[in-house]
Amino acid sequence: MMLKKNILLLLSLVFILNSCASTSTNVKKSSAPAWVNDVYSVFKKEQYVAATGFGKDRSQAEANAIAALTSFFGQTVEVEKEAASSFQQAVVNGVMDSWLDTASMRTNVKTTSSFENLMGVEIKEVWFDSRDTYYAAAVMEKAAGIKIYKELLDANNNAIANLMKEGAKDSNSLQSVMCLYFAETLAKINEFYRNIIWLLGGETNDKILGPLYYRTEAMKIIKANPISVRISNDRNGRLFSAFASSFAEYGFETSPSASARSRYALEVEVVLSPVSLPANPNVFSRIELTANLKDTKLNQFLIPYSFVSREGHTSQAEADNRCIFAAERNINETFAGLLSDYLKQLRPKK
């Protein structure tokens, strides 16, 4: 009886081992889809741009596939950091919305504004090797990609046309300069779009103006209209330099004196006075600074700014010096911020 049980147990063990061996053999024999080894064996080059990626999980495999596909375009999918930031900010703030004809276009522009992913890319296939690796195929149909990026290009060109029309209403104004600056940004983004279209085998209008044209036109206006910065009671030109630096950040030139061609004038009044604090061993000075940027053509004040501070030291001269230093720092921070906000809001919507 015991012998019979042992034989049955042995037969069961042999059956289990054979089953495991069979399963193991099936895993080894399972072959990868053709696209894993050659993606273009399935997705033909004439119709698609495609790439494969692999990873320890599905999301990693898909991300690596998209990255591999993006590398097909090389550096042409890189956008200048400053232009990308300006464009993204304009999109987020809704500046582009009124120039886009459809909701789908608005969605496409918002999707591409970060420039992290290419439009029209899809994950078409995913395969798991039954062990530890996932594979994915990222695919862009060339015709669909060309269509998407041509629509984005057309949207930018429409926006540029509106910017030029708006800027021409007052061709020597700060607004005209900011319109040209943003047109330059859009033209840089257009280069990105055009490169993708060309690499996909599409064609674009070669008569489209590049970013250099818009930058050159902006500089012509700036050269013809330096901003007059007149300061009473400056110290060795230190306050002038601080204000000039804020304008220079946007490419504007400044002059310490008024001229017939200065449409914009920054009038700055500075009062330095001693402050008596009998119980304090140090001596103190107080600075009161007021400034207004004026459009002399329209007779309008554009940016009001003021700063007040009290600084102390062992000597009056050094207390005065500390007041000037405090004013410089505030101009570089607060006035520069006010100027930035004013210039950005000059960028028109349709």
Please report which residue ranges of 38-173 form alpha helices under DSSP H.
Answer: 58-70, 81-92, 103-112, 142-167
Compute, in degrees rounded to 10, the torsion defined by CA atoms 185, 188, 190, 192: -130
Q: Tokens 């919305």: give the residue.
A: 97
DSSP-assigned letter for residue 292: E
Q: Tokens 């063990």: give the residue.
A: 13
Q: Tokens 């429409």: give the residue.
A: 158
d(Cα 53, Cα 222) in Å, to the nearest integer? 50
Architecture of the CATH domain 225-345: 2-Layer Sandwich (3.30)
Digits of tens for pLDDT over the chain (350 positions)? 444 444 444 434 333 334 444 333 233 335 889 999 999 999 999 999 999 999 999 999 999 999 889 888 876 566 777 777 777 777 766 666 666 655 665 666 666 655 666 888 999 999 999 888 999 999 999 999 999 889 888 888 888 988 898 889 988 899 999 999 999 999 998 988 898 899 999 998 767 889 999 999 999 999 888 999 999 989 999 999 999 999 999 999 998 876 656 789 999 999 999 988 888 888 899 999 999 999 999 999 999 999 999 998 889 999 999 999 999 999 999 999 999 999 988 866 55
Query: What residues does 229 pair with on adjacent strands?
Result: 266
d(Cα 131, Cα 120) in Å, to the nearest integer? 31
d(Cα 286, Cα 274) in Å, to the nearest integer? 6
d(Cα 67, Cα 71) in Å, to the nearest integer? 6
The answer to whether 342 and 302 are in contact (CB under 8 A) is yes
Q: Output the pTM of the full model.
A: 0.77
Query: What residues does 275 pair with on adjacent strands?
Result: 284
Instruction: Tell me the CA distances in angstroms from 234 to 241, 314, 328, one per residue in order.
Output: 10, 22, 11
d(Cα 344, Cα 350) in Å, to the nearest integer? 15
